[in-house]
Each structure stands twice: as structure tokens, then as C-alpha cells.
């Protein structure tokens, strides 16, 4: 029998006057899992995290922690730890005293406090800073101390509210990997909030994508990236090419889609679209290839092919993006590893863009959402 989840959120709702901050959210957090609440500003992710922490009261719904109803329990009764974006360290206390604070509040013996503070300083790889004040540390070091203070009393769940938002990109990338390593080594249970798609993809076991106060989709990073359920999910997570059209028929579980200009496209059919005629076809840029219009088409598997003009080539570090204006006026983007060009970099050249039929994902449009 599967173990009960560490956290269950059931139909959680919160409004501020006429503004709906959260509209009936449901999800589960499993033992040892790293679950990220991802979404744009105003999607309800921080409101949801603060409700789990007990810092905001819901209008309705339930929160269960370790099998116990905790909807209206005070924060200190929930056995959760919190790591904030601004670190929230006491500036007048040493690193040792900052980390020891939650243990002193629990009236632990001094010998235990010293042992536990030393233990977590080793875990976050800062054993030599115990007597320093927070202002003597870098931003990344302060964030590690904030994490150590949260971990030292071994809460059931660690909550993180955009903890890397104040760091520069290089340090942020480093801290992402360090937090991920700590999660793996210690098997801690983490509920994490961010609006950064790349951060969520790197760190998460699962992602809970939120939009306008609702849960849009929950799944692994692979699920959300390669198998989005909605146009919002496809567009928010990573780059995507989206072409619209009508389902004209089915051939062996492959949908034939009539796009603008009478173009026929094909993609795997999804039973969730049963009865929908108007659909969107999504394909990721890295699945799109560019070739000269006179070159032979790929023969390994069925491909879609469209013609257009190469309008721009942009090098973004290790990846190069190719922007093509199709004959019907729409734009499509292809990407390739820099140095592995898919076409001669001649702006204005007439090219053919192709992608495997199996790489397309059919999605409902707002008018036909199912």
C-alpha cells in the first residue's frame, strides 16, 4: 500500500475582495519529493505556499500535513521550515546563533545545539563561518545559512519562496545544483516556488504549473515540456512553435490538420481532443530542422514540411536560433547547437522547415478547450 503523502492540498481557495488569488487548488507532495509551484506573477503560487506555511488563512479547502488536518493550525504546529528570498537572517547574531535559534526556541540542550549546528554547517559546506555575522558573507553563503537554519530542526517539509531570486545568474545556477544535491543526499521533502522555468526544470521531481489562481498541469519536467495539456503550458514552459488549424481526419491515430493556406500537417491524435475541430499544433524548436528547398526530404520517418524565408539567425551561447517567415506569414523557430548549423546562414534564403510527425503535440484552442 503506498505511503500517505506528506502534504495534501484539497480545494484550497483564497480571495481578496473581488480578486480570486486561488481558485480551488488540489495537489499532493510525496515523501522526499521536490515539487515546484511554477507560474507567472499573480498566478497564486506564493499565496498557496503561505497557506501551507500557515501565514495566510484560506477561505475554504483543507491542508493535510503528515496525515493530520492543519488547515487552521498555527505555523509552529505544522512542522514546516521556511526559506525566504531575502534570507531573513538576524543581522546582529552570528551564523552560529542564527542557525541555533530554532533549536533554542525548542529548549534543546546546549550540547545538542552545538552538535546540530556543526552538522548542518558541514552539510551546506560552510564549516568555518560559525562566528561571522551575516553581513560578512556573500549572497550565496547567506542563502546556504538560511537553508541550514531551516534544516537544523529537521522539519517534515521545507518551503522555499523564490530563494534564489536575489542572486546573479552564475551564482543562481550554482545554487540550483547545490540545493538539488542536498535534496538528493538528505532525501528532504521540498515545496519550492519560482517563476523561472529553467530553474523549475533543473531542480524539480515534479512541477505544479499555475495560471490565474488555478492548477494548470502537474507532472514531471518531461511531462510538461514534451506533453503539455494546454496552450498556456506549451507556451509558458520553454520555447514553442504553435500553428492552428482544423482536424480534417484521422489516419491510424494520426490527425490530419488543415492549417492556413490549405497546408496539411500531421500530428499524433490525443483522445482528449475528441469532438474538437479547431486545434493548435505545437512543436519545439529543437525538433525543427531547416534544409534547402532543393534538398531531398528526410527519409527515416514521416515529416511535416513547410516553406518560407530565413529572416534572422541569432547565436545564444551554445545554441543558435533560426527564425523563418512562412509563406502564410506565420513565423517558426528552429534551434541547433552552435557549430552544428542546419542551414547556410544566408538571410533572405528560401528554405524548407521540417519536423517529425511524432514530435508534434495537438492542443485544444480556447474556443474548443476540453
The last residue of a domain, from among 189, 216, 232? 232
Question: Are 57 and 88 contained in the same domain?
Answer: yes
Q: What is the DSSP letter of 18?
A: T
Annotate 277-290 with three-state secondary structure.
CEEEEEECHHHCEE
The last residue of a domain, from among 232, 249, 269? 232
Least confident of 122-126, 164-168, 230-234: 164-168
Kindly tell me the sign of the dihedral angle through the C-alpha atoms of 273, 279, 296, 341.
negative
Taking alpha carbons only, the member of 156, 180, 196, 184 closest to residue 63 is: 156
User: Residues 260-317: pLDDT tens digits?
Assistant: 777 889 999 888 787 777 899 999 999 999 888 776 666 666 889 999 999 999 988 8
Question: Are 244 and 227 contained in the same domain?
Answer: no
Q: How far apart are CA 3 and CA 127, in angstroms?
A: 36
Q: What percent of the chain has pLDDT over 70?
A: 95
* pLDDT band, residue 228 (cuts 50/70/90): very high
Cβ(244)–Cβ(258) below 8 Å: no
Q: How far apart are CA 284 and CA 356, in angstroms?
A: 11
Q: What is the pTM of this model?
A: 0.88
Domain harbouring 297, CATH code: 2.40.50.100
User: Residues 30-83: pLDDT tens digits?
Assistant: 999 999 999 999 999 999 999 999 999 999 999 999 999 999 999 989 999 999
Question: Are 248 and 270 contained in the same domain?
Answer: yes
Q: How far apart are CA 31 and CA 9, in angstroms?
A: 15
Mean pLDDT of 7-23: 94
3-state secondary structure of 123: helix
* pLDDT band, residue 170 (cuts 50/70/90): confident
pLDDT, greater one: 166 or 148: 148
Q: Please, which residues have CB within 8 angstroms of residue 196's CB and are 6 or more apart in sequence?
A: none
Note the pLDDT of residue 102. Answer: 92
Q: What angle do CA 346, 347, 349 make, to 5 degrees?
A: 75
Q: Which domain holds residue 59?
A: 7-232
Question: Are 148 and 166 contained in the same domain?
Answer: yes
Note the pLDDT of residue 324. Answer: 95
2: in domain: no
Question: Are 270 and 227 contained in the same domain?
Answer: no
pLDDT, greater one: 195 or 346: 195
Give the helix/strand (H/E) hosting 101: helix 95-105
1: in domain: no
The last residue of a domain, from among 232, 259, 294? 232
Q: Into how many domains does the chain fold?
A: 2
Note the pLDDT of residue 57. Answer: 95
Question: Are 184 and 267 contained in the same domain?
Answer: no
Q: How far apart are CA 323 and CA 291, in angstroms?
A: 13
* pLDDT band, residue 343 (cuts 50/70/90): very low
- The chain-wide mean pLDDT, for the chain, equals 89
Domain harbouring 88, CATH code: 3.40.50.300
Cβ(309)–Cβ(351) below 8 Å: yes
Cα–chain-centroid distance for residue 186?
22
Q: Please, which residues have CB within 8 angstroms of residue 53's CB and are 6 or more apart in sequence?
A: 75, 78, 80, 82, 159
Question: Are 220 and 108 contained in the same domain?
Answer: yes
Question: Are 269 and 185 contained in the same domain?
Answer: no
Question: Are 95 and 191 contained in the same domain?
Answer: yes
Radius of gyration of the chain (CA): 25
Amino acid at each position: 500500500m503506498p505511503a500517505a503523502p506528506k502534504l495534501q492540498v484539497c480545494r484550497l481557495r483564497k480571495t481578496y475582495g473581488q480578486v480570486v488569488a486561488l481558485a480551488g487548488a488540489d495537489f499532493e507532495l510525496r515523501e522526499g519529493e521536490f515539487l515546484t509551484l511554477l507560474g507567472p506573477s499573480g498566478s497564486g503560487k506564493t499565496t498557496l505556499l503561505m497557506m501551507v506555511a500557515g501565514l495566510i488563512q484560506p477561505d475554504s479547502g483543507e491542508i493535510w500535513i503528515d496525515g493530520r488536518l492543519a488547515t487552521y493550525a498555527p505555523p509552529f504546529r505544522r512542522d514546516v521550515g521556511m526559506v525566504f528570498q531575502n534570507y531573513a537572517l538576524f543581522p546582529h547574531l552570528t551564523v552560529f546563533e542564527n542557525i541555533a535559534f530554532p533549536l533554542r526556541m525548542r529548549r534543546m540542550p546546549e550540547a545538542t545545539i552545538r552538535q546540530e549546528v556543526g552538522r548542518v554547517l558541514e552539510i551546506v559546506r560552510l564549516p568555518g563561518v560559525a562566528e561571522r555575522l551575516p553581513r560578512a558573507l556573500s549572497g550565496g553563503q547567506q542563502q546556504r545559512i538560511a537553508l541550514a537554519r531551516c534544516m537544523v530542526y529537521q522539519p517534515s517539509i521545507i518551503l522555499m519562496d523564490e530563494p534564489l531570486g536575489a542572486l546573479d545568474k552564475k551564482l543562481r545556477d550554482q545554487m540550483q545544483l547545490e540545493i538539488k544535491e542536498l535534496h538528493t543526499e538528505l532525501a528532504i521533502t521540498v515545496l519550492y516556488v519560482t517563476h523561472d522555468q529553467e530553474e523549475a526544470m533543473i531542480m524539480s521531481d515534479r512541477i505544479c504549473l499555475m495560471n490565474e489562481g488555478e492548477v494548470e498541469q502537474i507532472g514531471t519536467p518531461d511531462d510538461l515540456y514534451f506533453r503539455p495539456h494546454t496552450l498556456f503550458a506549451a507556451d509558458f514552459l520553454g520555447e514553442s512553435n504553435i500553428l492552428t488549424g482544423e482536424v480534417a481526419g484521422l489516419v491510424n491515430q494520426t490527425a490530419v490538420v488543415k492549417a492556413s493556406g490549405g497546408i496539411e500537417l500531421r500530428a499524433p491524435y490525443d483522445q482528449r481532443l475528441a469532438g474538437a475541430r479547431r486545434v493548435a499544433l505545437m512543436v519545439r524548436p529543437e525538433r525543427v530542422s531547416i534544409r534547402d528547398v532543393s534538398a531531398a526530404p528526410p527519409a527515416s520517418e514521416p515529416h511535416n514540411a513547410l516553406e518560407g524565408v530565413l529572416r534572422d539567425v541569432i547565436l545564444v551561447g551554445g545554441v543558435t536560433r533560426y527564425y523563418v517567415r512562412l509563406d502564410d506569414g506565420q513565423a517558426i523557430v528552429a534551434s541547433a547547437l552552435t557549430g552544428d548549423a542546419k542551414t547556410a546562414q544566408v538571410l533572405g534564403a528560401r528554405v524548407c522547415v521540417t519536423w517529425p510527425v511524432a514530435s508534434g503535440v495537438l492542443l485544444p484552442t480556447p474556443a474548443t478547450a476540453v
